[in-house]
Amino acid sequence: MAPSTVFDHAEANGVDIAARATVKQAELNGTAERPPVADDYMYDFKYNHALPTTDVLGVQIPQDCDAQAEAEGIVRQLSDALGTGNAEAFADLFLEYGVWRDKLSFTWDQRTFNFRPAILKAARDLLPTTKASNFAFLTPAPVVDRPYDDFAQLQFVVSFETDLVVASAVIKAVLTKEGWKIYTMHTVAEQLKQFPERAPADGHMTGTISWEAQRAKEVDAADPEILIIGGGQNGLALAAWCKALGLNCLIVERSEEVGDVWKKRYEYLSLHFPHWADDLPFFRYPKQWPTYTPAQKQGFYMSWYASALELNIWTKSTVIETAQDDQGAWAVKINKGGNESRTVRPKHVLQGRRDPPLLRADPSEHDRLFFSTPVGPGEELGRRAAKVLEDLDRPLLDALNARGLRTWRGQRGTGNGTLGQTRNGGFYFDAGACEHIINGKIKVEPGYIERFTEDKVVLSGGRGREFDLVVFATGFSNLNDSIRDTLGPKVANQVGQVWGVDEEGEYRGAFRETGVKNLWIMVGFLPMTRFQSRILALRLKALTEGISPPPYKA
């Protein structure tokens, strides 16, 4: 487990304020050590959430609760409210500090509405034109989840339909003195009713051109509706979904081969999530696959994935220049294969994150649940989870600190949770280094590098050290810099900050409008890639076919 510590928000506010005052005075005196990442770094979320614990609610969910029956009662009320467009009845189903999070199904954007007043406002604006019907339960079956002695919730998943989409909703409800109230609801579009996934081709070769020759012609003559810059995991997953929905898509990849982004990393690298969390859309890893995939093996998997799904990719190719007219139409000049220039005119351009992060075709039930928790409740749950991990890892943390490796409570006290949403780094999944630090094989020098001289590294405090080799383990460049390098300063200057959390609790710039018409960003770790690629592809298909309502802006 990652070495991390947390701030327990159960402490009294007065103690918290006094502690902060002490830290502030120490900062003024120049004697305080500031946290590596400030709590508000790339984090604009403005709501103060609290868990609906039993002491607050004044009631507990009975041990013999019939989860299925109680969930059916909630769904009946939800169906009545959404079927008739009754905003007041819909909002009243929520806890006063409940949260409704939506991806495309109602808002045609990715939005979070925190607390009942915001839910009511959105419902009044959206429900008159977007009714929902045909509710049905999905797996897993309704269950009472009891993660802590003082907190329990009824959790279940349903499907439903609007005029345009088939969608799902993950609902988590708590029992109050007034009955069941929805704590969080996450609604996600999963299919366009007018444009379902394409049926598989027959595959019989009846013409005079071989499959291989057909594919070579298709790739060379690609005239894309969707241009994806970057053939890493995000580009491949999005292209796979675009193709499944009938969109003509082209990937431009600067490497010699698909998968080089992983193959050409250091030879002992492996993925930090187990393989059952890392599938790309439409292909599961075999059961015999190693638990933690070696990086080079992942690269070969990606190359095979692109070939198996017949994705159109120009390798050894780069964007030379881009132009966009007043209507948002693109003209993109590409150096193809390093030896010829081509200009394509896609309707949409997507920038994929080429660098891999440190770290199934339907969104699986696990994906639905994993990504369903909004930022506010997730922050509080994250603090508790990190506290549990801190207690479990106490001997490890103490031993590391004794060797000079300073552990940290994490941004906003959530361990590595918030850091993943903002800095996308600053934490370590133990793959063996902790043991070597503890036994002294790896030495630790606290502090930071001030400068380099001809033969020394000068650390903070003026400490000069000589080393045989210096390795810059500094992570990857800012995504906005990648946009500038690829699409030029004019486009980059119009794009707002990409990544980090906005006021509502959604990612800035990623998977959503960027500030430049018809320019989109795909970024994230592998489970997020799998989950978000379908949602963005659905939006692109709806826009291309002219059936997408404008995104909700209020």
pTM for this entry: 0.89
Pair (188, 299) in one structural domain: no
- Domain assignment present for 27: no
Pair (254, 125) in one structural domain: no
The parent domain of residue 535 ranges over 211-360+477-545
Pair (347, 490) in one structural domain: yes
User: What spatial distance separates the first Cα and last Cα of the chain, rounded to whole Å?
Assistant: 41
Instruction: Mark the ranges of the chain whose per-residue pLDDT is less than 70.
Output: 1-34, 353-364, 475-477
User: For position 205, what pLDDT does the model report?
Assistant: 78
User: For position 473, what pLDDT does the model report?
Assistant: 78
- Domain assignment present for 419: no
User: In CATH, what number is assigned to the domain containing residue 172?
Assistant: 3.10.450.50
- Domain assignment present for 424: no
- Domain assignment present for 38: no
Pair (163, 236) in one structural domain: no
267 CB burial (10 A radius; 0-12, 13-18, 19+): exposed
User: For position 4, what pLDDT does the model report?
Assistant: 29
Pair (228, 182) in one structural domain: no
User: For position 423, what pLDDT does the model report?
Assistant: 87
End position of a domain, from candidates 131, 164, 194: 194
User: For position 280, what pLDDT does the model report?
Assistant: 94
Pair (248, 107) in one structural domain: no
End position of a domain, from candidates 194, 228, 259: 194
Pair (241, 304) in one structural domain: yes
Pair (62, 119) in one structural domain: yes
Dihedral angle of Cα 208, 213, 215, 218, to the nearest 10 degrees: -90
Which stretches of 395-511 are assigned E, i.e. beta strand? Answer: 449-452, 457-459, 463-465
- Which value, in Å, is the radius of gyration of the alpha carbons in the chain? 25
Query: Could you read off the pLDDT of 403-436 as tens digits, one per residue?
Result: 999 888 889 999 888 988 998 888 888 889 999 9
- Domain assignment present for 3: no
- Domain assignment present for 457: no
User: In CATH, what number is assigned to the domain containing residue 340?
Assistant: 3.50.50.60
User: For position 78, what pLDDT does the model report?
Assistant: 99
User: For position 353, what pLDDT does the model report?
Assistant: 62
End position of a domain, from candidates 166, 194, 222: 194
User: For position 34, what pLDDT does the model report?
Assistant: 64
- Domain assignment present for 433: no
Pair (173, 289) in one structural domain: no
- Domain assignment present for 451: no
Q: Are strands 313-314 and 457-459 parallel, antiparallel or unpaired?
A: unpaired
Angle (nearest 5°) at CA 24 between 18 and 28: 145
Pair (274, 172) in one structural domain: no
Query: Could you read off the pLDDT of 96-131 as tens digits, one per residue?
Result: 999 999 999 999 999 999 999 999 999 999 999 999
Q: How many domains does the chain have?
A: 2
Q: Are 464 and 492 in contact (CB under 8 A)?
A: no
> What residues contact 107, with CB distance under 8 A and at least 6 apart?
122, 126, 551, 552
Pair (77, 176) in one structural domain: yes
Pair (254, 141) in one structural domain: no
